């Protein structure tokens, strides 16, 4: 079993939902956890909730992950504190446009790619750069989506970014594997979060998903966290470049 007491994990999009659930499990396991999201207030509230559960308060670092310069500044701040991240969860994502591709505007397209792809890549690169310099191994998990593995009407741009993230996972696994850095991805289905509220809270959309899903329901954030911990841990030492669906059997339908 993995000893998390000497591990430092950074989770993006950690102020709520799947990101907070992952950070909670990491903190309970004994890792030093760094919560990253755009707004200080949301991070502080998440840190309070995690502290009540785990007994250890995570560090909080506000950062707009859609801006590479902000990510660089984040890691310079961690450098100044002597902190080296060896477990990264790229969970932050955005989906500003829900509708047919014909109606997509470039501003929404660019924002989605900036956060979901460019931000995830730069976070991973900053982590890997420091691990390689320290001759230290580590693990990265990218949170993709089942929509990166199939057509996604009305969510086309979001799906494109998740397909790109799956491809990026495979490439980085090959490029950094020799340095002892593993890169994997998970592909959640519909999960009850604020991010997915437009679908979860719409009876018609929710019914379409549940009818196809083998388990006939959507998931909860806590049901995603365990898989991420496994992929980050030494128990998954022979896994890299994989994308693991966690969707209640939706893709099996």
CB of 27 closer than 8 Å to CB of 58: yes
pLDDT attached to residue 199 = 74
Cβ(162)–Cβ(95) below 8 Å: no
Domains and CATH numbers, the chain: 4-242 (3.40.50.720)
Summarize pLDDT for 5-55 with one digit per residue, the tens.
Answer: 999 999 999 999 999 999 999 999 999 999 999 999 999 999 999 999 999
What's the rounded Cα separation, in Å, for the pair 129 and 231? 20
Rg (CA), the chain: 17
- pTM of the full structure: 0.95
Between 121-125, 215-219, 226-230, the lowest mean confidence (pLDDT) is in 215-219
pLDDT, tens only, 118-158? 999 999 999 999 999 999 999 999 999 999 999 999 999 99
Closest Cα partner for 61 from 125, 12, 108? 12
pLDDT reported for residue 210: 84
Q: How far apart are CA 115 and CA 97, in angstroms?
A: 14
What span, in angstroms and rounded, lies between the C-alpha atoms of 207 and 190?
Answer: 11
Judged against a pLDDT cut of 70, whether residue 1 lies above it is answered with no
Give dist(CA 54, CA 72) in Å, integer. Answer: 29
* Residue 27 to residue 50: CA distance in whole angstroms: 8
Catalytic residues: 158
- Percent helix / strand / coil, the chain, rounded to 5: 50, 15, 35
Q: At what angle do helices 222-232 and 17-29 cross, to 10 degrees?
A: 50
Residue located via tokens 């009818």:
211
Helices 40-54 and 17-29 cross at an angle (nearest 10°) of 40
User: For 177-212, how does the pLDDT look when each residue is reduced to its tens digit (9 = 90+)?
Assistant: 999 999 999 999 999 887 777 777 778 877 888 888
């Amino acid at each position: 079993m993995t000893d998390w007491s000497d591990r430092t994990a950074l989770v993006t999009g950690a102020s709520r939902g799947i990101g907070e659930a992952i950070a909670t499990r990491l903190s309970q396991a004994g890792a030093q956890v760094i919560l990253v999201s755009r707004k200080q207030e949301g991070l502080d509230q998440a840190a309070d909730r995690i502290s009540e559960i785990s007994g250890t308060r995570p560090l909080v670092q506000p950062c707009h992950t859609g801006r590479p310069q902000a990510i660089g500044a984040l890691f310079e701040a961690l450098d100044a504190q002597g902190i080296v991240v060896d477990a990264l969860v790229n969970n932050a994502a955005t989906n500003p446009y829900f509708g047919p591709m014909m109606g997509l505007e470039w501003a929404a397209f660019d924002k989605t790619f900036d956060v979901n792809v460019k931000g995830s890549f730069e976070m991973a690169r900053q982590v890997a750069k420091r691990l390689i310099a320290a001759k230290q191994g580590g693990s990265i998990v990218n949170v993709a989506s089942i929509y990166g593995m199939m057509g996604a009407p009305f969510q086309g741009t979001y799906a494109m970014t998740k397909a790109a993230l799956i491809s990026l996972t495979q490439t980085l696994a090959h490029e950094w594997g020799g340095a002892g850095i593993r890169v994997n991805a998970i592909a959640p289905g519909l999960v009850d979060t604020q991010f997915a509220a437009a679908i979860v809270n719409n009876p018609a959309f929710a019914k379409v998903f549940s009818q196809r899903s083998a388990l006939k329901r959507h998931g909860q954030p806590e049901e995603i966290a365990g898989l991420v911990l496994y992929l980050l841990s030494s128990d998954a030492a022979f896994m890299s470049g994989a994308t693991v669906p966690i969707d209640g059997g939706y893709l099996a339908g």
